[in-house]
Structure 1
Amino acid sequence: MIETENTRILIDAGPDIRQQLLRVPFRKIDGVLVTHIHYDHVGGIDDLRPFCIFGDINIYGDEIVTAGLPHTMPYCFPKNAEKLYPGAPKLKLHTIHPHEHYQIGDIEFVPIRVMHDKMPILGYRFGKFAYITDMKSMGDEEYAYLEGVEMLVINALRFEKTHHSHQLVSDAIEVSRRIGAKHTYFIHVTHQIGFHDEANKRLPEGFEFGFDGMEIYVEKE
């Protein structure tokens, strides 16, 4: 979750999002940015329904996401809005595009195009902070849109054994160094990473593994 005093943005809503949100104050979610439509990133959207008490929830994603969610959750996106299933979450879909500038509340962001094997997905930049998950590769042209990022959250599946759609720790380190991030947090890891503290000892300075409930403070530009 990206949060300021006035604005709250959720990135993805996986199957355990209800449990994850129990630890934070119950107040409005101003927007949900979806990286891609795989179930482990959208399977918990229905559990956002309690937050609809504050108004409709705006969900942002690329064309694959906004075209696919109505098929995945048809009861949430009826062709006739007046026929919304009673009690279903009130959601509004917004299609966004890589490299364009957007703003929700007082938070500005730019979608970045990365590849999850052969599937195009989105990462997001928020000023000096960037969030990328499920990436296997990224085109050279994307690095220009990440110039100046100082804090990076990025996926790093495990230390060894190449995966067809996720990068390894060594790949993530290389990407971070090319971007020039001062500090990088690894997410979307498997149990093969090992125990958190022991795994961190294997990383270079400026890199560490994230964990559930971790809070990172970023200075606004």
Structure 2
Amino acid sequence: MGVKFTLMGTTAGLGVPAFHCNCIACREARADPFWARTRSGAVLETGKENILIDASPDLSKQLLRERIQSVDYLFVTHWHYDHFGGIGDLEYYVKLERKWPVALFLPPSAVDDFAKVYPFLEEVFVIEPWEFGKSYAFEGIELTVLPARHSIETGGILLAGSKRAAYFTDTAGLPAPTARQLQGVDTLICDATFNGANWFPHSHMNWQEAIALGESIRAQHTVLTHLAMHYSTPITAAQLQEKLKDYAQVSLAYDGMVLTI
């Protein structure tokens, strides 16, 4: 039996719908809350421990929705607000319920930034800089941080259990050594930020580029995430689903999507 891996959030910095936006994607999400998307993050539930990957500004809402009542570890992939803005949501969980610190794995370049932004969380977390290529063993799963290609130091996550899955929400393709390590992965969950023109080709991908990446590493299944439905050319989830009918091994991520690894 594999480990449960839940995509708690599946969009980029604004969320869908955005409070200020009335594009077709935001109208769709308001009409059907299933297509509403919170900022990207995920959780591994091993049965003994819960491991968060990123802490979006929507973290508290996500934990409530997925009925996650404990957190044991937190890996932050990179120091952009939509991936760390919910760290403070764990403060009173630790102080009032858990009673001992959560292990927080940060990019080495973000350790000083964390201390500046969250000096009041000194007793809430035990800080450890993660290392590229280092594997962390948990019950039934091994987690390895690998280099992504983004605007700042960023790690993607390789999960190895009964299957292999790669979680790369913010990346413009992959560095060659990472791509070699991910060859033949069972599931690639990756950055598909844009529909149409890619505004930031050195940091993100559009959905066609994400599909091409999955094909290039021979992923058995590619899941498109970090979807900013209003960026570049707005598109609804229904419209994107229609386009994906031509790709048998490609799926559209949604909040609460569960994979078994």
Q: Which residue of 1 aligns with 2:67?
A: 25
Is the 8 Å Cα contact of residues 66 and 256 (structure 2) preserved in structure 1? no
Following TM superposition, by how much is the alpha carbon of 1:107 offset from its aligned partner in structure 2, in angstroms?
A: 2.9
Q: 1:64 to 1:103 in 2, by over 3 A?
A: same
Q: TM-score, normalised by structure 2?
A: 0.74
Following TM superposition, by how much is the alpha carbon of 1:26 offset from its aligned partner in structure 2, in angstroms?
A: 4.2
Equivalent residue for 2:235, pick from 190, 194, 201: 194
Matches within 5 A, 1:41-120: 41-52=83-94, 53-54=97-98, 55-77=100-122, 90-117=124-151, 119-120=152-153
Q: 1:148 to 1:51 in 2, by over 3 A?
A: farther
Gaps of 5+ in 2: 1-42
SS in 1 for 2:190: strand
Q: Which residue of 2 aligns with 1:184?
A: 222
Following TM superposition, by how much is the alpha carbon of 1:137 offset from its aligned partner in structure 2, in angstroms?
A: 3.5
SS in 1 for 2:258: coil
- For 2:132 and 2:216, how far apart are their aligned partners in 1? 20
Which deviates more from structure 2 when the two are superposed, residues 136-145 or residues 154-163?
136-145
1:135-162 C-alpha deviation (Å, 9 max, x unpaired): 1242111112213411111110122112
After superposing on structure 2, the runs of 4+ consecutive aligned residues of structure 1 that deviate more than 6 Å are none
Q: Name the Cα RMSD after superposition.
A: 1.7
Equivalent residue for 1:162, pick from 184, 195, 198: 198
Gaps of 5+ in 1: 78-83, 85-89
Counterpart amino acid of 1:162? N
- For 2:197 and 2:68, how far apart are their aligned partners in 1? 41
SS in 2 for 1:124: strand
Q: TM-score, normalised by structure 1?
A: 0.86
Equivalent residue pairs, number: 206
Following TM superposition, by how much is the alpha carbon of 1:105 offset from its aligned partner in structure 2, in angstroms?
A: 4.5
**1:121 paired to 2:154:** yes
- For 1:107 and 1:214, how far apart are their aligned partners in 2? 19
Is the 8 Å Cα contact of residues 116 and 137 (structure 1) preserved in structure 2? no
1:102-155 C-alpha deviation (Å, 9 max, x unpaired): 1244431111101213x2200000010110011124211111221341111111
